[in-house]
Amino acid sequence: MKRQLLASICACTLLAASLLSACSSGGGNAQQTGGEAGSGQESSAASGSAASTGSSGGKKLAFVVKSTGNPYMERMIDGFKDVASKLGHTVVVKEPEQPTAEAQISMINEVVAQKVDGIAVAANDPDALQPILSKAKEKGIKVVSCDSSVNAQSRDVHVNQADPVAIGKALVEAAYDMTGGKGEFAILSATSQATNQNAWIAQMKEVLKNSKYANLKLDKIAYGDDLRDKSTTEMEGLLKSYPNLKCVVSPTTVGLAAASKVLVDQGYAEKIKITGLGLPSEMATYIEKGVCPYMYLWNPIDVGKLTAYTLDALVQGKIKGEMGETFEAGDMGSKKVTTAADGGTEILLGDPFKFDKENIGQWKSVY
User: Could you say which residues in the range 210-239 bind another protein, by CB under 8 A?
Assistant: 220-223, 227-229, 232-234, 236-238
**22 sits near another protein (criterion: CB under 8 A):** yes
Q: Which residues pair with 117 in a beta bridge?
A: none
Q: Classify residue 352 as left (phi > 0), alpha (psi -120 to 50) or beta.
A: beta
**139 sits near another protein (criterion: CB under 8 A):** no
Q: Please, what is the minimum distance in Å from the beta carbon of residue 127 to another protein?
A: 4
Q: Please, what is the minimum distance in Å from the beta carbon of residue 334 to another protein?
A: 33
Distance CA 285, CA 315 (A): 42
Q: Classify residue 149 as left (phi > 0), alpha (psi -120 to 50) or beta.
A: beta
**Residue from 8, 210, 326, 339 that binds another protein (CB under 8 A)?**
8
Binding footprint of another protein, residue count (CB under 8 A): 90
**307 sits near another protein (criterion: CB under 8 A):** no
Sheet strands (E) in the chain: 60-64, 90-94, 118-121, 142-146, 157-162, 183-189, 216-223, 245-250, 273-276, 294-297, 326-328, 334-336, 338-339, 345-350, 353-356
- In single-letter form, the type of residue at position 25 comes to S
User: Per-residue x/- marks for another protein, 170-209, CB under 8 A?
Assistant: ---------------------xxx----x-----------
Q: Please, what is the minimum distance in Å from the beta carbon of residue 325 to another protein?
A: 28
**244 sits near another protein (criterion: CB under 8 A):** no
Distance CA 165, CA 202 (A): 9
Q: Please, what is the minimum distance in Å from the beta carbon of residue 237 to another protein?
A: 3
Q: Looking at residues 94 to 113 of the shown chain, list those that interact with another protein (rule: CB under 8 A).
A: 94-98, 100-103, 105-107, 109-110, 113
Of 205 and 338, the one with the shorter C-beta distance to another protein is: 205
Of 220 and 354, the one with the shorter C-beta distance to another protein is: 220
**Residue from 30, 50, 137, 281 that binds another protein (CB under 8 A)?**
281
**32 sits near another protein (criterion: CB under 8 A):** no
Distance CA 242, CA 228 (A): 21
**322 sits near another protein (criterion: CB under 8 A):** no
**323 sits near another protein (criterion: CB under 8 A):** no
Measure the CA dihedral 66/71/77/81, to 10°.
160
Of 130 and 338, the one with the shorter C-beta distance to another protein is: 130
167 close to 203: Cβ distance less than 8 angstroms? yes
256 close to 331: Cβ distance less than 8 angstroms? no
